[in-house]
Structure 1
Amino acid sequence: MTLNIGWIGCGRHASQMLMPQLARNDLHIAAVCDLDDKAASRAAWQYGAEASYGYYRDLINHKGLDAIGMAVGPEVHHDAALAALASGLPVFIEKPPAKDLKATEEIAEASIRAGKPVIVGFMKRYSTGNRIARNIVKDTEFGPIMGLSGYYMNEPAYFAGKPDYTSFYLHHCVHYMDLLPWLAGSPFADLSVRVNVSTPGHILVHLGFECANGTIGSVAMGTTQSRGTPTESLTIMGDHKRVEIQNIIHVKYFRHPSFKADDAQATLSPDTDTLCWEPNFTAAANEDHKGYAALIADAAAAFRGEASAAPQIHDGVVAMASLERMTALIEQEFKKQKK
C-alpha cells in the first residue's frame, strides 16, 4: 500500500540521504516544504511532489497526506511534530528529536494522545556492521556482554568568540546515547566524563559508563579528526569472545581458537576461528550500509500499523535524558579546569 508523505526540510542531508529511501518503501512524496524556495522546488521536481511550501503548517494542511517526515532543526522538529500529531498524522523525525529533554517529552506525550507513532532517525542501529554485531551478541552463544569501548569522531567545529558545543552534542553525541545502550541491551545506569580542549571548538570527550545489566565501557567523542579518515570504531567484549566494528563496514567476530603453529593438521574451524565480514561495493545491488534505507523501511511499516523495530519517540526521550546527563557532567569538568 502506497502512503502519501509530506516532507519538511529539503537540504542536502534530507534530499540525498533520506528522501531517496522513501519511494523504495512505497512512500510517495506528495508535498515538500523548505524556507528556501529553490531547495523546495528542486526537491519537488526531483521526487515528483505535486506541491511545495515555505511554511510547515501549510504542508501539514495539504490534502491527502498519510504521514509527515522532517529533517530540519531541533526546534522545528518539536513544533512541526506537535502540529502533525494534532492533525492525526504519524511522524518521522531526524535526530535530534528536539532541542532538549523537556521538548522531547512533549512530543512523546503528544504521540500518546494522538495514538500515532513518532519515529526518530537513529540510523546507527541500522548500519549493517552494527546490526550484525547486535545479532551476534544477542545470541546465547556469545554469553553476557562484559564491556563496550570505541570512538566516534568528527572534524573540528569552528566558532567566533566563545565556543558553543550544543550542535556537537545534539547532532553527533546523541547517536551514541542511543547506540551504546542498544548494543549493550541495557540503559545507562552511571556516567562519568573527562574533557580535553586543545583550542576553542576542538573538543575531546571520554565518556565512561555502566549499564543496568553490568556492562561497563568507555567511548571517545570529539571534533578533533578529519572526516576524510575512518572516524568510528566499536569493540563489544564477552568472555573469550569479542566483536569489532570498524567504520560500520568491517566486522570481526573473535571466538576462542586454538594455537596453530604447533599443529601440523591446523585448519580453520567454523566453530572457533575468527569470522570476518565487509561489503562488496562492486556489486550492482542498491545497498545502503549507513542504515537509512532499513530505517525508513521500518518507519514505513510503523506508519501502516505493521510490526516495526523502528526507534520511536520514547527512545528519543531516553537518549536525550542521557545526553543531558553527559553535558551536565561536561560543564562540571569545564568549571573544574577553570579553577
Structure 2
Amino acid sequence: MTLKIGWIGCGVHATQMLLPQLVRHDVEIVALCDIDGNRLQSAGRQFGVQTLTNKAEDLINTPGIDAVGMAVGPDQHLAFGKMALERGLPVFMEKPPSGSAAGARELLAASEKSGKPLLVGFMKRYSAGNKIAANIVRSGQFGSVLGLTGYYMTAPGYFVGNVDYTGFFLHHCVHYMDLVSFLVSPVSKLTARKVEKEPGKVLFHINFDFECGAIGTVAMGTIQSRGAPVERLELMGDHQRIEVDNVIEVRWNRNPPFKVDDPQASLVDGVDSLTWKPNFTAAANEDPKGYHSLLADVIPALQGKQTPAPTIADGVIAMERLETLRRELDL
C-alpha cells in the first residue's frame, strides 16, 4: 500500500538529497511545509504537491497522511516530532533528533507513549562502502574486529562569521557517534584531545573503547577542504583489514602469500585482497551516499514493520556520546 507522507522542510538538502530518493519508493508526498514561500512553491512544483503550508501544525493535522518526514533544525525536530507522535503519526527525521541528549530522550519517551516509531537519518550506515564493510564483518568471514581507525573532516568555511562549533557537532560529528558502534560494538569509554590552530580551525582525535574489547581512534575537525575526499575508515582484524575510502572504495585485505619469487603466483580466492568501487559511467540512478538504502528500511518501518532502520533509541545513544565528546574537548 502506498504510504502517504507529509513533509516538513524544503531546503536544499531535502529537495536535492532526501525527497528525490524518497519518491523512488512506493510513497506519495501529499503535503509540504516550509516557512520560506519561494522554497515551498518550488518544492511543490518539483514533486507535484498541491497541499502547501507554512505551519508545521497544519501539515501534521492534514487529513489522510500516514506519516510525517522532516529535515529542519534540531529544535524543530524536537517540537515537530513530539507533535506528530502525539497525533499518533510515525515519524522520520534527519539527524540530529534534537539539539541535546535530553531532547532526544523526550522524543524516545513520546515514541514509546504513542506506540509509533521515530526513525532517524543515520545514512552513514547505508553508505555503499560502509554497508559492504559491515556485511563482511557480519558474514563471519572476518572474525573479531580488533580495531577501528578513521577520519571525517569538514572545512572552516562552515563557521565564517560565527565561530560556534555547535552546528559542526550536531550535523557532522553525530554521524560517527552512531557509525562506530554499527561497525564494531557498543562504546564503553570515549576520550578525546584537540589542537586548535585558530578559532574555527580545530582538529581532534577521539579514542573509543568498545564493549567487545576492540579499540578505535577517529580524527575529526574543520581543517580540510570539502573539495577533496574527507572520509576514511579502516577495520582491523586478525590478518585481515577492511579499508573504506570516500564511502565508495573498498579494499578487503586478507592473508595472501608472498608472490614475487613464486613462479606459480596467481590470485587466489579466499586469501588475496578484494576491491570494489562503483561504476559511475553506468546510466543507473544509484545513491552511494546511502539515502535511498536508508529510506528502503525507513518506509516499511513507518508502516509498522520491523526493519534495521535507525530509531530514536539509536539517536539517544549518539547524542549522549556527542555530549561526552564536547565535554572532553571543552568545545
With the length of structure 2 as denominator, give the TM-score of the two structures.
Answer: 0.98
1:267 partner letter: S
What amino acid is the match of 2:179?
L
Structure 2 SS opposite 1:302: helix
Aligned partner of 1:72: which letter?
Answer: V
Q: Is the 8 A contact 1:82 1:110 kept in 2?
A: yes
Q: Residues 293-308 of structure 1 correspond to what in structure 2 (within 5 A)? A: 293-308=292-307
Aligned match of 2:65 = 65
Residue number in structure 1 paired with 2:55: 55
Deviations 1:236-293 (A, max 9, x none): 0001000000000000000000000111010000110000000000111211000000
In 2: Cα distance, 1:218 partner to 1:147 partner: 8
| CA deviation profile, 1:58-99 (whole Å, cap 9, x unmatched) | 111111100000000000000000000011100001000000
Alignment of 1:287-326 (within 5 A): 287-326=286-325
Separation in 1, partners of 2:169, 2:46: 32
Contact 2:34–2:53 (Cα < 8 Å) also in 1: yes
Counterpart for residue 253 of structure 2: 254
Aligned positions, number: 330
**Aligned-partner SS, 1:279:** coil
**1-structure distance, mates of 2:159, 2:302:** 39
Name the SS of the counterpart of 2:176 in structure 1: helix
The one-letter code matched in structure 2 to 1:281 is F
Measured after TM superposition, the shift of residue 17 of structure 1 is 0.3
> For 2:21 and 2:116, how far apart are their aligned partners in 1?
22
Which residue of 2 is the match for residue 80 of structure 1? 80
Q: In structure 2, what is the equivalent of residue 265 of structure 1?
A: 264
Quick one: distance in 2 between partners of 1:3 and 1:275?
A: 39
1:25 deviates by: 1.2
Letter in 1 for 2:98: A
- Written as runs of structure 1 = structure 2, the 5 A alignment for 1:198-277 is 198-277=197-276
* Residue aligned with 2:6, SS: strand
Cα distance in structure 2, aligned partners of 1:216 and 1:139: 21
- Paired AA for residue 296 in structure 2: A
1:131 aligns to what?
131
Q: CA deviation at 1:168?
A: 0.6
Whether the aligned pair in 1 keeps the contact of 2:159 and 2:165 (CA below 8 Å) is no
Distance across 2 between alignment mates of 1:104 and 1:305: 21
Query: Which region of structure 1 is more displaced relative to structure 2, 266-275 or 135-144?
Result: 135-144
- Structure 2 residue matching 1:198: 3-state secondary structure: strand
Paired with 2:127 and 2:110, the residues of 1 have a C-alpha distance of 29
> What one-letter code is carried by the residue in structure 1 that aligns with 2:210?
C
CA contact (8 A) 1:159 1:200 kept: no
Structure 2: which amino acid aligns with 1:22?
Answer: L
Matches of 1:43 and 1:119 in 2, distance apart? 23
- Where does the alignment leave 5 or more consecutive residues of structure 2 unmatched? none
CA contact (8 A) 2:108 2:312 kept: yes
Q: What code does the residue aligned with 2:308 have?
A: A
2:310 partner SS: coil
Alignment map for 1:111-126 (pairs within 5 Å): 111-126=111-126
Secondary structure at the residue paired with 1:25? coil
Residue 159 of structure 1 deviates from its aligned partner by 4.5
Q: How far did residue 303 of structure 1 move?
A: 1.3
Do the aligned partners of 2:10 and 2:43 also contact (CA within 8 Å) in 1?
Answer: yes
Q: What SS class does the counterpart of residue 24 from structure 1 fall into?
A: coil
Which deviations, in whole Å up to 9, do the C-alpha atoms of 1:281-328 show, x marking residues without a partner?
Answer: 011121100000011111101012223110000000010011111111
Name the residue aligned to 1:158: 159
Letter in 1 for 2:204: V
Q: Note if contact 1:158-1:200 (Cα within 8 Å) is conserved in structure 2.
A: no
For the residue of structure 1 that corresponds to 2:195, the secondary structure is strand
CA contact (8 A) 2:192 2:207 kept: yes
Give the secondary-structure state (helix, strand or coil) at the position aligned to 2:229: coil
Letter in 2 for 1:127: S
Cα distance in 2 for partners of 1:153, 1:181 equals 19
Q: In the alignment, which residue of structure 2 is the partner of 1:16?
A: 16
For the aligned residues, what is the CA RMSD?
Answer: 1.0
Given residue 81 of structure 1, which amino acid in structure 2 is its aligned partner?
G
1:37 aligned residue: 37
**Residue 183, structure 1, aligned to residue 214, structure 2:** no
**1:98-113 alignment to 2 at 5 Å?**
98-113=98-113
Which amino acid in structure 1 is aligned with residue 47 of structure 2? Y
Instruction: Provide the secondary structure at the position in 2 that maps to 1:269.
Output: coil
- The amino acid of 1:274's aligned partner reads S
Where structure 1 has 5 or more consecutive residues not aligned to the other structure, the ranges are: 335-339
Percent of residue pairs bearing the same amino acid type: 52
